[in-house]
Chains A and B, each alone.
Chain A
Amino acid sequence: MTLTIPRLRAKAARGRRRRPLTLVLATAFLVLVAAMGLLAPVLAPHSPDETSLLNALAPPGTEGHWLGTDSTGRDVLSRVMHGARLSLLAPLGVVLLSLVLGTAIGLLAARAGGWVDAVLSRGMDIVFAFPSLLLVILSVAVFGPGLTAPICVLAIAYTPFIGRVVRSVAIQEGARPYLESYRVMGFGELRVTLRHLLPNVLPVIIAQSALSFGYALVDLASLSYLGLGVRPPDADWGSMISQAQSAILQGSPWSGLMPGIAVLLTVVCVNLLGEHLGGSISGKRSEET
């Protein structure tokens, strides 16, 4: 009795305390954007490539085109919905790749220590020192346009971002005696690291990844804006903004504004979520002691 009751109460209290409205809204928005991207072929009112010069540069609120049309009369809403797929998938790829790389390098550096740690840490410092966008542009110059090379290069550029955090958290956590007690019990280093250390540092990794997702989204959008990322007829939000430039100059900012707002809101929401994940972890830590 004495054991379970305080635990349940603590859980209930935790649930009540930490769910601010902004967080709920951010999560809801991200789910919505993801669903929009996934279901774009079904939900979009028009084909994203259907041009109609008669309807060019219609303002938002026009019958049949809620968010207006661009300079060739394509429906902005449909294009934003379709664009969400690449705009979200590409950074997701970056994050997953850098997550795997960064976690592996960070854990290895933390657990091996000595010269292995020194080499890996300095390596990460060097990569970290390069501006990521510059690296990506370089990769496009070498491999030609397309998304595969930028995703891989960005993933490498973001690896230190995650790897350094993983390393420092793993060293901190590794000083706690439970990991040593597993070693005394005869468990191998690899198993202790993967089954006990990793799950205990995972929340930090996830929080850090969420933050880097936001950065990756902006980087990739910038790349597309520069015309180096997605190739037409594929479109993401960055390339849509790029194509809307002339329309903006003609006094019709809608077709560029809408994908811009989509980028902004998505990044803000992802960062909010990431910050909350990171915060709730440090909160839990302080509760433990």
Chain B
Amino acid sequence: MNQPQPVLAVSSLVKRFGSFTAVDDVSFELMPGTSLGIVGESGSGKTTTARILAGLERPTSGTVTLEGRAVGGRSRRDRLWQAGRLQMIFQDPYGSFDPRRTIAQSIAEPLRLHAPGPAERHRARVAELLDQVGLSTRAGEALPRDLSGGQRQRAAIARALGIAPRVLVLDEAVAALDVSIQAQILTLLDELRRETGISYVFVSHDLAVVRYITDTAVVMRHGRIVERGGTEQILRSPQHPYTRLLLDSIPSPDWDLERVARDRRALDAR
């Protein structure tokens, strides 16, 4: 067990919807305690990849391996085993809660499924989880619609943490939040990773956010991975013209739209 083994491995993943290939031969590995970014624009296949990881879509071909074990089983035992190891945070923090249940009830529910026990213990654990993500007990008693976007996203993280997964897949998890709130959630994710050794698959269109939260990254375009490597290295010396275009497209005070146009021509020429 001294040899580090990837907690999540994806190999030759393909997903077709009819004649459209959404994900085309995608492979990557995620080591324990690390964070991997999947960067891409709309139609890049990044969200489909995330949904396959979470078991919401079945791949047309290819395998997903969690802790060395292939996933995709449909039995209750397989389902629970997978859910106990991999959880997902969605972009829309409002829609990811049952509107009729309080936040605390929503957090307690997966606890009861994954670790049956006395209600007293679950209540204590919910309080602990709320505290861990920086929510008050009062927020726990509220309904989802009474919380702000940032609070809901904290609650979604608390709910996922309750299952104590090894891997957390975050699909554009901070994209809908205000800048100041986004920073809070990023800081929280950073802390959680240091404290619990959890691994992240961070799916995002935002290179700046990906740079902040990930160690390695893959850049996707039209369903394929066009570039992979250390996140810093990709940003410093992008090899693929598409990565270069992505980087130069990010606005900054000395933004050069000429260069963006040049990048695009270079990409089209390929």
Q: Point out residues on A near B: beta carbons under 8 Å.
A: 3-4, 6-7, 176-178, 180-188, 196, 199-200, 288
Is the Cβ of A3 less than 8 Å from the Cβ of B146? yes
A-contact bits for B65-84, CB 8 A (1 contact / 0 none): 00000000000100110111
Contact of A186 among B82, B95, B98, B138 (CB under 8 A): B82
Is the Cβ of B80 less than 8 Å from the Cβ of A181? no
Is the Cβ of A178 less than 8 Å from the Cβ of B113? no
Q: How far is the CB of B98 from chain A (nearest CB, A)?
A: 5
Given contacts A3-B138, A178-B96, A196-B98, contact A184 B88 (CB under 8 A): yes
> How many residues in B have their beta carbons less than 8 Å from beta carbons of A?
34
Q: Which residues of B contact A186 (CB under 8 A)?
A: 79-80, 82-84, 110, 113-114, 163
Q: How far is the CB of B18 from chain A (nearest CB, A)?
A: 14
Is the Cβ of A184 less than 8 Å from the Cβ of B99? no
Residue B139 at the chain A interface, CB threshold 8 Å: yes
Is the Cβ of B83 less than 8 Å from the Cβ of A185? yes
Which residues of B from 157 to 177 have beta carbons under 8 Å from A? Answer: 159-160, 163
Of listed A6, A180, A186, A199, residue having the most chain B CB within 10 A: A186
Query: For the complex, what is the distance from the CA of A199 to the CA of B110, rounded to whole Å?
Result: 18
Q: Which residues of A contact B99 (CB under 8 A)?
A: 178, 200, 288
A-contact bits for B131-163, CB 8 A (1 contact / 0 none): 000000011001101110000000010011001
Is the Cβ of A180 less than 8 Å from the Cβ of B98? no
Is the Cβ of A178 less than 8 Å from the Cβ of B95? yes
Closest 6 CB pairs of A and B: A186-B83, A177-B95, A185-B110, A177-B90, A176-B95, A186-B80
Is the Cβ of B96 less than 8 Å from the Cβ of A4? no
Closest-by-CB residue of A relative to B169 is A184
Query: For the complex, what is the distance from the CA of A188 to the CA of B83, rounded to whole Å?
Result: 11
Is the Cβ of A188 less than 8 Å from the Cβ of B79? yes
Given contacts A4-B138, A180-B90, A181-B88, contact A188 B76 (CB under 8 A): yes
Is the Cβ of A187 less than 8 Å from the Cβ of B96? no
Query: For the complex, what is the distance from the CA of A200 to the CA of B109, rounded to whole Å?
Result: 17
The 11 listed contacts between A and B (C-beta, < 8 Å) are A7-B143, A178-B95, A178-B97, A183-B56, A184-B87, A184-B88, A185-B113, A186-B79, A186-B84, A200-B98, A200-B99
Is the Cβ of B54 less than 8 Å from the Cβ of A184? yes
Q: Point out residues on B near A: beta carbons under 8 Å.
A: 54-56, 76, 79-80, 82-84, 87-88, 90, 92, 95-100, 109-110, 113-114, 138-139, 142-143, 145-147, 156, 159-160, 163
Contact of B163 among A3, A7, A185, A288 (CB under 8 A): A185
Is the Cβ of B55 less than 8 Å from the Cβ of A184? yes
Query: For the complex, what is the distance from the CA of A186 to the CA of B87, rounded to whole Å?
Result: 9
Q: How far is the CB of B137 from chain A (nearest CB, A)?
A: 11
Query: For the complex, what is the distance from the CA of A49 to the CA of B163, rounded to whole Å?
Result: 68
Is the Cβ of A183 less than 8 Å from the Cβ of B145? no
Query: For the complex, what is the distance from the CA of A69 to the CA of B243, rounded to whole Å?
Result: 91
Q: How far is the CB of A260 from chain B (nearest CB, A)?
A: 42
Q: How far is the CB of B145 from chain A (nearest CB, A)?
A: 6
Q: Which residues of A contact B92 (CB under 8 A)?
A: 177
Closest-by-CB residue of B relative to A185 is B110
Query: For the complex, what is the distance from the CA of A131 to the CA of B103, rounded to whole Å?
Result: 47
Closest-by-CB residue of B relative to A288 is B145
Is the Cβ of A181 less than 8 Å from the Cβ of B114? no
Q: Which residues of B contact A4 (CB under 8 A)?
A: 138, 142
Extra 4 A-B pairs, beta carbons < 8 Å, given A178-B98, A288-B99: A3-B139, A176-B95, A183-B56, A185-B160
Query: For the complex, what is the distance from the CA of A17 to the CA of B185, rounded to whole Å?
Result: 38
Given contacts A176-B95, A177-B92, A184-B88, contact A7 B146 (CB under 8 A): yes
Q: Which residues of B contact A177 (CB under 8 A)?
A: 90, 92, 95-96
Q: How far is the CB of A61 from chain B (nearest CB, A)?
A: 52
Q: How far is the CB of A251 from chain B (nearest CB, A)?
A: 58
Query: For the complex, what is the distance from the CA of A183 to the CA of B83, rounded to whole Å?
Result: 9
Q: How far is the CB of B114 from chain A (nearest CB, A)?
A: 7
Query: For the complex, what is the distance from the CA of A176 to the CA of B91, rounded to whole Å?
Result: 12
Q: How far is the CB of B113 from chain A (nearest CB, A)?
A: 6
Q: Which residues of A contact B142 (CB under 8 A)?
A: 3-4, 7
Is the Cβ of A184 less than 8 Å from the Cβ of B83? yes
Is the Cβ of A199 less than 8 Å from the Cβ of B100? yes
Of listed A4, A177, A187, A199, residue having the most chain B CB within 10 A: A177
Q: How far is the CB of B134 from chain A (nearest CB, A)?
A: 15
Query: For the complex, what is the distance from the CA of A180 to the CA of B139, rounded to whole Å?
Result: 23
Q: How far is the CB of B241 from chain A (nearest CB, A)?
A: 35
